[in-house]
Amino acid sequence: MNNFMRRFGCPLGILVIGGWCIRILQSVLSDNAETIIVKFAIATLCFSFGLSLNIVRKRRNTWVKKLIVSFILLFFILWDLGYLVFPGLSSFMHFLALDGFIVYLVYVFCGWTFFD
C-alpha cells in the first residue's frame, strides 16, 4: 500500500493541490500580475508532476543533463511569458506545434527527465 501511494498518490496529490492553488491565485491576483505568477505556477506544477512520476526509480546524478534540462525549462518559461521573442523562432515553434498546451507537456517532460 505504501508503494502504491508513493507511486500514484503523490502525483495525484500534486495535481489536485496544485490545481486548487492555481485557481486561488487566479481569483486573488489582478490581471497584470496574474499572467506572470499563474504561468510560472503552472510551469512549476507541471515540472513537479514530472518529478513525481520518476519518484520510485533509481536516480542517476549527471549534472550535465540536469543543466541542459534546466536551460530548456528556463527557455520555455521565458518564451511562454513573452520575454524571449525572436521573429523566426515563433513561426518555427508554431511549425513544430510547440505552442499552447504542448508547452505544458514539455514542462512535465523536463521534470521527468531531470531525475531520470
Q: Which three cell numbers stand for residue 41?
A: 505556477
What are the residue ranges of helices labelled H in the chain?
Answer: 2-4, 10-28, 31-53, 63-81, 87-95, 101-114
Strand, coil or helix: what is 30? coil
Structural domain for 10, as ranges:
2-114
| Domain count of the fold of the chain | 1
pLDDT digits (tens, 9 = 90+) for 13-72: 999 999 999 999 888 887 777 788 889 999 999 999 999 888 766 666 788 888 999 999
97 C-beta neighbours (distance < 10 Å), count = 9
pTM over 0.75: yes
